[in-house]
Chains A and B, each alone.
Chain A
Amino acid sequence: MNKRALFSTLGLVLIAGLIGLGLIQRRLGASHPHVHAGVEADARDDALSQESSLRKLADADDETYRRTYDTNIAVADPRRVLAQNASGPDLVTHYKAYFRYPHNSRPLNDDMFSLLDPLKIQTAPVPVFKANANTATDRPDYVVQFFAPRQSITGDEVFSATLRVQDANGVEVLPTIEKASVLSDIKTGRVELSQAEQFEGLQPEEGLRGFAWKAPAKTRPYWGELELSVSLDIDGVKLVETLPFSSTPAAPAKFTGHFSEALVDGSLVVKAELEASEAGSYVFEGSLYQQASNAPVSWARNIVHVHVGTQNIEYLFFGRIFHDKELEGAFALRHVRGYRMNQAYDPGAMLDRTLFMQQQRAQSSDQQARALEIADEPLHQFVAVWPTDYLTQSYQLADFSDKEYDGPDKQQTLEAVAQNGNGVSHAP
């Protein structure tokens, strides 16, 4: 074989190989970084075609996304906010979308992290510098971060947190813990209450130094927004890191674990039985998930005037949300929780100033003293979170109403914003 024939053969083999490679590449979805120009052109055509079909898919996805999350437009698509702002916030459009569902039952989406895990404390890394560092320009020598799965404890529950320390390269560092204690709330002067127990963390990504604490008594100093205070030494750098959390040693009420459910006007209502020892205004919250897929459905929140004794707390999950998310089957009610608002007076009574003043003046000196006492008490008393999911019966989509919410608040809002809402035109 002469050189020309050899080169021709090699060329044909090369071309065939490249074509074959291109076909394989197309079949496999192409992930190799070195591709011949001819194949690249072929691939680009393929990509253009793929782009076209993907764009259709994305558009369809967008549509579903908007439909699902319409009440949360900024979350769904910031571009809509951009477009919206060309002529100012459109309140009528906004409120029509908002009032598809009532205030007390809203869609729960998979990017609403603070509600998907409402119990944990949100924290962020804190930089630590060695002495004489320029904190504006220097790279931190260490980064410290707390992790805590529960932001509130009630009764005998244990508060726990872990502390992660990393060096500038992201490598875990084990600090020396000089002291770990819990301090009382700001109204009682941040006095040291007791030491926190220390344990070794098991998950490096959430810190290898752990701390645990529970209220040793039910008295006032152990109630409120306390602070875990950890004095540590990282290779000679000494610092104190703190993490606030809520403690309610004497629970004002507790869930009994008895749940019931019913369809009411095409919406799912789950009732959780509560035994209360203190009356007052409580906030109750809970979230619903589709059991099979764990897809988030809705969060419910109610302000309830609780009396002393046993009663049912209703969690409404509005029918239209099931339709908009196209979810059916059995559902899990999760994170059933609540807290009592420790107020010196009923804000509802304050709506009428004249009446309120009369009530205030008629108060006995004991009542007035108690009101001042409450002013020095914490804002909240937490009910222990019910620890397990409540599983509902299985429902079909047709069991739920697809009607949008309607009520006087919706009508009054739409009328008011249509007549008085913003929108005076300005230069684009």
Chain B
Amino acid sequence: MALAGGVLGLAAISLTSDAAAARKILYVQGKIDKYCYNGTLDRCYQNGDYGARYWGGLVGSTRRSEAYFVGYNGTSDPREWGSYVNGWRLSDGTYTGDGPYWNRAQSQIHAALWWGPDKGGAGCNNANNYCVLACHSAGCYALDYYFAHFDPSWETSAGHLNAYTIYAVASASGGSELANARTGVGGTVKALADAALNVYGLSDSWWAGPDNLWPMTAALETALARSFNHDATAGRSTYHSAGIDSGGAGWFTDGYFGSRNDGAVSFHSACGYESQVTTNNCLDAGGTCASWSGCPWYNPFCTRYCRDFRKYTHWSNHYVLTDGNAYGAGGFDTSFYAYNKTHLQMRGVLPYILEWYGE
């Protein structure tokens, strides 16, 4: 009997193995002051330097053959479809390489998903490929926008897109208060942006002032990031992981508003909340449990039995990964359902999350 079971088991494994498609993990970058490009190398370009990387060594290093990097101009609006240019635009205004390149997020995501490897994409519409999407910060904003505007007729003409899950670390799809604050030129709210700069040691252009504003920063204003329907996902589901370490930036929301952030985005964004709420918990389990109407004050069960402890809602098909003890990622705080990591450090958490969840 046991032998039969073993044989059946082997047969099942064999069948599964035969049916399994080649897995590809597409990493979608966020805001960066460089031009990155699509491909299997994590390389960004600026001023003659191809050496800059967005993701760092951990992402894609262990399963190199599965990694595909979706790159775009990290200062541009993540909702934008770029115009066609037959080459890569250099800083002196000339073009190089064998085009086409768009260098805008929507076009680059589109090309990465739908073009085969022979055309420079990942070929996710090929039934032999199974794509998993992973994103950081504004890359998640770009993906949210892409799938909110996903035209079903594309699948009719080019085949079903084998990409279903998005792992979003430190997602900026709900925008960032720092992008709002960058316009506070006359008030002390600008101190927020300055504090973030101090933490990251980034150039002044990271959260540029009104005289030198990147389209990316403008697009990250919360009112704009939340102006389209994030509940429309074309069926794709997003799993969020937030960072909780503001890096000592001392963001205002930490104290006064009882909210948390990773130094760049608040929980309302990183956790996929559908409203711009101030919360200190990715599942908002930190508050008191609601009692039901008519339950008398002296009933001890009124506060013990919490039918529904949430106060706020997530967008449809947006979930929070609550089991953070992914091997090696560490530092997960279960009272907040978030990692003790800063916004940029969350990129390094991503490979552990992918491993932990069997991707």
Contacts and interface: CB of A to CB of B under 8 A. Distances in A.
A199 B237 CA distance: 44
Given A33-B297, A58-B307, A413-B235, A136 B81 contact: no
A54 B299 CA distance: 12
A71 interface: yes
Contacts of A44: 298-300
Contacts of A237: 187-188
Contacts of B205: none
> Among A29, A47, A238, which residue has the most Cβ atoms of chain B within 10 A?
A47
B111 A412 contact: no
A75 B164 contact: no
Interface stretch (A1-9, A85-93, A267-275, A396-404): A85-93
Interface stretch (A10-18, A76-84, A384-392): A76-84
B296 A240 contact: no
B344 interface: no
A391 to B, nearest CB: 24
B106 to A, nearest CB: 8
B189 A127 contact: yes
Interface in B293-346: 294-301, 305, 307-310, 313-323, 327
Nearest to B232: A301
Contact of A136 (B164, B255, B294): B255
Given A103-B235, A303-B149, A351-B154, A246 B164 contact: no
B348 interface: no
Contacts of A54: 292, 295
Contact of B314 (A75, A133, A283): A75
B83 A375 contact: yes
Contact of B77 (A99, A127, A379): A379
B81 A347 contact: yes
B114 A285 contact: no
Nearest to B116: A353
Contacts of B300: 44, 47
A350 interface: yes
A239 interface: yes
A374 B84 CA distance: 11
Interface in A394-427: 408-409, 412-413, 416-417, 419-426
Interface stretch (A116-124, A201-209, A306-314): A116-124
Interface stretch (A256-264, A316-324, A337-345): A337-345
A200 interface: no
Contact of B151 (A91, A186, A344, A348): A348
A238 B320 contact: no
> Among B80, B185, B257, B319, which residue has the most Cβ atoms of chain A within 10 A?
B319
A227 B217 CA distance: 14
B152 A103 contact: yes
Contact of A416 (B119, B130, B278): B130
A135 B195 contact: yes
B222 to A, nearest CB: 7
Interface stretch (A107-115, A289-297, A326-334): A107-115
A113 B274 contact: yes
Contacts of A124: 177, 222, 276, 278
A225 B228 CA distance: 13
Nearest to B22: A420
B223 interface: yes
Interface in B163-214: 164-165, 177, 180-181, 183-189, 191-192, 195, 210, 213
A423 B164 contact: no
Nearest to A85: B323
Please report whether the interface of chain A is mostly helix, strand, loop or mixed according to DSSP.
Answer: mixed
Interface string B140-159: 00000000011111110110
Interface in A53-83: 54-55, 58, 61-62, 65, 71-75, 77-78, 81-82
A295 to B, nearest CB: 17
A207 to B, nearest CB: 16
Please report whether the interface of chain B is mostly helix, strand, loop or mixed according to DSSP.
Answer: loop
Contacts of B308: 65, 77
A102 B321 CA distance: 26
A135 B231 contact: no
A91 B165 contact: yes
A409 B152 contact: yes
A35 interface: yes
Contacts of B278: 124
B255 to A, nearest CB: 7
A377 to B, nearest CB: 10
Nearest to B283: A78
A47 B251 contact: no
Nearest to A79: B309
A40 interface: yes
A134 B251 CA distance: 10
Contacts of B177: 124, 126
Given A375-B83, A416-B164, A128 B307 contact: no
A352 interface: yes
Given A344-B84, A420-B20, A137 B250 contact: yes
B319 A81 contact: yes
A176 interface: no
14 contacts: A47-B299, A86-B323, A99-B235, A103-B232, A106-B232, A122-B222, A129-B191, A136-B255, A152-B227, A186-B215, A239-B186, A351-B125, A351-B154, A419-B16
Given A113-B275, A241-B187, A413-B160, 4 more contacts: A78-B310, A227-B183, A237-B188, A371-B84
Nearest first, the 5 closest Cβ-Cβ pairs linking A and B are A136-B250, A239-B187, A424-B358, A375-B83, A47-B299
